[in-house]
Amino acid sequence: MAFIIKYKVKKEDEKIRLDKYISEKNEDLSRAMIQKLIKENKVLVNGNISKESYKVAENDDISLEIEPPKETKIIAENIPLEIIYEDNDILIVNKPKGMVVHPGAGNHEGTLVNAILAHCKDSLSGIGGIIRPGIVHRIDKDTTGLVVIAKCEYIQESLIKQMNDDSFIKEYIAIARGMVDSSGVIDFPIARKDGSIIERCVDLVHGENAITNYVRLNYNPELDISLVKCRLLTGRTHQIRVHFAYIGHPLLGDSLYGLDCGSSCNALCGRFGDNGLCGGACDSDDGITGVESVGFSDSDDISNLHDGIRGEVSAGVDLNGAAFGALSVGVNKCDVEKSRADLINHQALQSNRVCFIHPISKKVVDIGLDIDGIYKELFE
């Protein structure tokens, strides 16, 4: 059943537009929702239908007819969440790797939204007329870290507005291949790649504006990887992943935008994903010892090469007909480093900090995470 909200206009509120007047009196209603109600003739002034541009007058009787939000069809699931911050209006969680944010094709259960519905229960109000959490910014399935959730439409729209005017700060920690410049700005437009639903690319003609600021925090010369802090000035899909791949420094573990290892072979042997760092054959210098790589294929059992990962060194290993009496200290060190890096079995990208003005309290909310401990290990 619909419910009615009524207002009596006071003298100090005269000559304010109808939609603005209602917005100021009811912060739970977004401007878009108010305009929708007016267009649907659900807002009456002195019992008459009115336009959003109407200037209210003293003693005007204004009434709003609002339908209660519908129950969502998404199932609430009792999935553990790491809550970083929560109040009556906002929830901030630390999303683990492998968790999809929104339900969709092939992912109807086990998503962040399923978990939030169970956690928040009756504290959610309507987003677009449906009881559901308002995800303020999405992160990819295999990106870890902070996600901000609004509990009502007004909060969601207010925070999105802050993102649009660059007052909402989003910072990420990433591990990129190669030695990234000490700092810089990546300013290349991004568009959906032709023929792909998921993949994006830099498109100088048809792309949307995309800007990523970054600073290099550390560099590991043995693994030839950089620890980077990024600040997004825009929020394009896969923005950091696309930008760093475009400048020749794809993120570790990024199976979609990672480059072939032939162009920048190093101790990681190219790709950083699945269960290891070595994604294919490398016929050039290994980047650490000056020794030519042996050229094993994807199907070779790398563990047979260097038992040094488990504290042993094999002798006389035959690879493609080449016998080695012993493994050099440098190669064994590479293997030990690789075993540490194997701990990160997803793209190395963490949503690390968010900072914004709370729409209700008007106070600064500044939430940050420690850099992932596994990331730190690679730069000790």
**Residue that the structure tokens 């591990």 belong to:** 175
Of all helices (H) and strands (E), which one includes residue 90?
strand 90-95
- What residues form DSSP beta bridges with 373? none
234 vs 144: CA distance, rounded Å: 19
- What residues form DSSP beta bridges with 225? 177, 220
Residue 283: C-alpha distances to residues 70, 99, 109, 176, 261 (Å): 61, 37, 44, 22, 10
174 vs 257: CA distance, rounded Å: 14
DSSP state string for 190-232 = EEEPTT-SS-EEE-TTTPBP-EEEEEEEEEETTTTEEEEEEEE
CB 149 within 8 A of CB 160: no
Q: Which residues are catalytic?
A: 140
CB 22 within 8 A of CB 29: yes
Helix 31-39 / helix 153-164 crossing angle, nearest 10 deg: 120
DSSP state string for 27-78 = TTS-HHHHHHHHHTT-EEETTEE--TTPBP-TT-EEEEEEPPPBPPSSPP--
DSSP state string for 107-118 = BSSSSHHHHHHH
215 vs 231: CA distance, rounded Å: 9
Helix 31-39 / helix 18-25 crossing angle, nearest 10 deg: 130
DSSP summary character for residue 260 = P
202 vs 190: CA distance, rounded Å: 4
